[in-house]
Amino acid sequence: MKKILPTLLITALASACNATQKIENSVSSTVNNVATNERPVKNIIMVIADGMGPSYITAYRNFADDPNTEAVERTVFDSHYVGNSSTYPAKISGYITDSAAAATALATGVKTYNDAIGVDVNKHPVETVLERAKKLGMKTGVVVTSQINHATPASYLTHNELRRNYNAIADSYIDNGIKADVYLGGGWRYFIREDRNLVEEFEQAGFHYIDNYKGLSNLPEDKPLLGLFGKTGLPWALDDENPHRLSTMTKSAVKQLENEKGFFMLIEASQVDWAGHANDIAAAMHEMDDLAKTFSYLEQYVKNHPDTIVILTADHSTGGLSIGRKTAATNPKIKSGYLWQPEILRTMTLSPEAFAKRFEKNDLSINQVSDLLNFELTSQEFQQLSKDKASAASKVELFHKTPKAERTSKYPPTVYRLIAASLKNIIDIRTNTGWGGVSSSSTHTGVDVPIYVIGREKQRFSGTIDNTDIAKQIFKLLENK
């Protein structure tokens, strides 16, 4: 009996402790839920790095590395990684998406066919998260380095069965109701036309219009904003007067959008994809650098505004970028047969395309070329460039003399593009960069893409999810407002 009593006492005490703990946990859970419900996400910033597959993130980490340290430093992206997203489109388009279908999935939560802008496989309009945010009284905006009627921004702003209907898409930004308070990017060609001047129509609707970056420093606070800074897309970051133009535009847009009811903003680093298609590792790394500066700004913004969430992902990967390939290049200072050497990419101050246009029109010496590229060219490399320049004109002439049925390419070659291809090949060999395309314009690939989130509610986007899940979770965040 003496042994039984202590045992019963211990059991009773343990049960009491467990009950108390359950009550405390329940209270704590309730308090946490109340706190969460009392502080819903106010501002949602969706960032899409077009074409940025996993290899771009790794390449940028090496590009941004301090070569004087032993470690390869982490970038601003790394500490906010939460998972991966699948990117496949509707079955009718197979396993590999284009930007339109992917952006529609990210904007609406609905799979669709390649080329579709904000419509389902039956070509019926589907509501986007931006449209829902606008209905809820939030301010909305788009900031891109492409034209603002390109596939990704269009998929958030409008509905069209074909992404290449650029004029119709631009017209819909007025005709179907103005859905954003800020538009920043390129697009003069589509918004200032002989048949219609959409800029004037936006101004008549009360918008403040600017056509250069300097205008961003002096904006009226009480007006919506339209800023167009290029005929189509903006210049490469390497060639732009402002190499961090995405960051600059983002800062101005955020300031214009801040309000009591919150805002939804789409940001697209559009030209990571364009660099992948062009097999241009130099342009790609500087587009990634612009994105990194933008993400760093947003990281600090969330610290100061904890009711904001930032979601960064890609719509797909482009180009089959490979960090390392089998080439004749080597480095006696590195004891390895496996190399990726980004040194010359860090020093370049203009794109291969911009260089090619200058080299086409001028007879330049090897020293002049090296000065332009900001790295020293070997005599063999210079001879190859000069040889390719000399043969480019004859290739262009031959194309136009060849009957259409016998041409191997739909698009005519140009001298400067052939020179640019020659230089990019030199850069690829120097850096040991590989590409997966079988043509000069590499394709999209079907790999999963990374997801990064800054702010509360990041668990919603963690793990391996589908691109449609990102939109579905954003809709849920909007429901809580």
If one counts every other C-beta atom within 10 angstroms of the C-beta of residue 214, the result is 10
**Using CB atoms within 10 A of its CB, is residue 195 exposed (0-12), middle (13-18) or buried (19+)?**
exposed
Q: What's the CA gap between 132 and 475, in Å, rounded?
A: 8
DSSP state for residue 279 in the 8-state scheme: T
Q: Angle, nearest 10°, between helix axes 379-401 and 366-373?
A: 90
Tokens describing residue 97: 């998406």
**DSSP H stretches of helix in 181-270:** 188-191, 198-204, 245-257
Q: What's the CA gap between 104 and 112, in Å, rounded?
A: 7
Q: What's the CA gap between 180 and 133, in Å, rounded?
A: 10
Laid out side by side, the sheet with 449-454 consists of 208-210, 225-228, 182-186, 139-147, 263-269, 43-49, 308-313, 449-454, 81-86, 463-466
Tokens describing residue 163: 């992404």
CB 442 within 8 A of CB 316: no
Q: What's the CA gap between 456 and 309, in Å, rounded?
A: 6
Can 99 be counted among the known catalytic residues?
Answer: yes
One-letter-per-residue 3-state SS of 137-162: CCEEEEEEEEECCCHHHHHHHCCECC
Tokens describing residue 14: 């343990």
* Torsion angle, alpha carbons of 273, 317, 455, 103, to 10: 70
**How distant is the alpha carbon of residue 123 from its chain centre?**
26
- Residue 29's alpha-carbon distances to 34, 254, 441, 457, 471, in angstroms, are 8, 34, 54, 16, 27
Catalytic residue among 85, 99, 252, 317: 99
Catalytic residues: 99
